[in-house]
Amino acid sequence: MGQKGFENRELSWLAFNERVLEKAEEEQVPLCERLFFLSVFESNQDEFFMVRVGALTDLEREDPEMRENKTHRTPREQLEAIAARVRRLEKRRDRCYLELTDRLIGQGVRLVDFSRLAPGQEPILQEYFQREIRPLLSPQVVGKRQPFPFLSGGGLYAAVSLETRGGSGKLGLIACFSRFFKRLLAVDGLPGCYVLAEELILHYASSVFENYRVKGLALIRITRNADLDAEECAEEGDYRETMEKLLRRRGRRQPVRMELRGSLPSGTMSVLCRYLGIGKEEVYRCQTPRELSFFEDIRHLLQKNPALFFPRFLPQRALDGTTGRELCQRLKERDVLLSYPYESIRPFLQLLEEAASDPEVVSIKITLYRLAKDSKIVDILTQAAENGKEVLALLELGARFDEENNIEWSRRLQEAGCRVLYGLEGRKVHCKLCLITARRGGRICYLTQIGTGNYNERTAGQYTDLSYITAREAVGGEVSRIFNHLCLGEPPAGCRLLLTAPRGLQEQLLVRIEEQRAAAAAGRPAYIGMKMNALTDKRLICALMQAAKDGVQVDLLVRGSCCLVGGIAGYTQRIRVISIVGRFLEHSRLYFFGCGEEQTVYMGSADLMTRNTLRRVEVLMPVLDTACRQRLKNLFALLLSDNQNSWEQQSDGTYRRREIKEGERPLDAQAYLCRMAREGKEGRPEKKSVAYTASV
């Protein structure tokens, strides 16, 4: 922790991923789910290096003296602190991996360890390598006429230190991946034993370089900087074409990390680092395989044993009405709130499906950020366009790591006759809005949906998100104006009910925080509760700190980065920070101001990060329906009471697993919500059986 009450954003994020690692270490979590959490920890680390470390590396080159605004570290100081924290975490990861793979043996799955081969295994493995793998390899010895090859980010390579008969040193390289062989290999003659392709290749690399003496062997994996901004390479012409060029560039950017498993002489290491343009401080040595996506194959092997997984849960049909028309009738009486993944996304999809064919519906307008690979939403929108509806899809091509998927969907939507916009220049459109406009009985009617998460059927079964649907004319009118602004290439403005970024959201939240501070100063009840993925906006953090000093109780549910440190005596002692990491990814955003009947509740897709409050298009909506508002209050209180999957921030910025206090009963909030959804009078399961697991 640096400046009083503040934590560095990057170190706070690493603390979040440490909590993910703790779930992989937790004895009470079923074995296959522990494998999942460990693989998520690894993929999270990869993305962290590609994006956050990549950005810091760029910043160090461009402005090495610039200090971040909370703990005042330079880019180099942040990179050094990150490296130290990561190396500590990776030691724990290695121990966890060894424990989990040992436990797999008891389930009949053994990963081959070449340092401890059983009698008779060596000839079988060697014969398999020579027959199935060796003919598919393209080894290279780096030299004057064989230049150092391009190493793809995330690819696994065998690096071999070689010595010629004349005594000169050489570097050999073998790509350990191919579409012609799997990574996790079941070897004939070794029932229950599996070997990773890269381990097999590395072990028999000496037979590949048979005319050389092998002096060292290691598996290496490169992580490349993926922090590219589309606006940096924007040019005249079609924005989609610019994005495609950007993606090609990103795959060839400078490495920011080399992971190494094995041993290479120092001279060979120097050669590798020189070719890759990295320093030795960017080399991370590890004891376990790199990239753990093969765990999913192991989970598949064990899927018939339900004891190794979380209990199967099916999203429930939360509404009596099973058709969009029946939902429309209900919306005339009151607003509707769907809570994913406890409740199914199907009622919303049916609402869209019927709008697509309803002769009175004029248009469907929607913002799209991340879509499923086989998106039903796109199918419905294309059908609506083919039925003659005006369909406006604002598709954010710059959604990081979803760019290729979104580019393809944009083509399909355009081909079907939809009007496709790519957002605003210099700003991502991150809000989740859908507006159905109809002309009924000679008047314009709106159905408006606002969500905290993406229009993605897959993640609706894995992330905790909220979907609020209303027929209120005032809300529909404001959302209609927001879409008009976006069509003109402008940020939204002029809303009375909705809070919108980049114009106004931060200022309006500051006003509401100040109202609570003033209430506390006047001796009236005052309260602020917030649930989000990240809290990094310094202006809002300072306002929360001041409110707490003046008597406001502040409860923060922050899953990931939190740059505010609560619990500091005489300073932030009225601020409590809780993080929940459970079976489902906590993803919804909720904001509560005030107490009792006068409390206002907002929901939407905006985290309290400067990029959300000032540099993106975001929308927060007041929850106007009394029953929906009470339901959200109950949800927030339930999550604050969780003592099974929650960590509480300490006054030094660290997080400690919450313990059951005397007189308390164990409460897993997510499991409780699953049970309530199953037992609800309105709930009935989807027909299709799907096993839902955590995604973090």
Catalytic residue positions, numbered: 430
308-319: b or e for each residue (b if 16 or more CB lie within 10 Å)? bbbeebbbbbbb
d(CA 485, CA 224): 37
Q: How far apart are CA 694 and CA 313, in angstroms?
A: 12
| DSSP per-residue string spanning 287-340 | SS-S--TTHHHHHHHTTT-GGGSPPP---B---S--SHHHHHHHHHHS-EEEEE
Total residue length of the chain: 696
Residues 6+ apart with CB under 8 A from 414: 420
Instruction: Round the CA-based radius of gyration of the chain to a whole number and report it.
Output: 27
User: Cis (ω within 30 of 0) for the bond into 502?
Assistant: yes
List the beta bridge partners of residue 577: 556
Residue 262 tokens, joined = 């094995």
3-class secondary-structure state, position 262: strand
Q: Which of 597, 617, 382 is nearest to 486 (CA)?
A: 617
SS3 562: strand
Distance CA(277)–CA(106), nearest Å, equals: 44
- Render the burial of 205-243: b for 16+ CB within 10 Å, e for the rest: beebbeebebbbbbbbbbbbbbbbebeeeeeeeebbebb
- Of residues 119, 111, 116, the one with CA closest to residue 183: 111
Of 688, 476, 348, the closest CA to residue 356 belongs to 348
- The one-letter amino acid code at 23 reads K
- Identify which of 257, 465, 182, 241 has the alpha carbon closest to the alpha carbon of residue 348: 465
Of 89, 90, 93, 108, nearest to 34 (Cα)? 93
DSSP 53: I
Q: In whole angstroms, what is the distance from residue 255 CA to residue 224 CA? A: 4
Residue 327's closest CA among 349, 356, 342, 360?
349
Residues of 45-69 as b/e, b for ≥16 C-beta within 10 angstroms? bbebbbbbbbbbbbbbeeeeeeebe
> Rounded to the nearest 5°, which phi and psi values hold at 520?
-65, -40
Cβ 677 vs Cβ 318: under 8 Å = yes
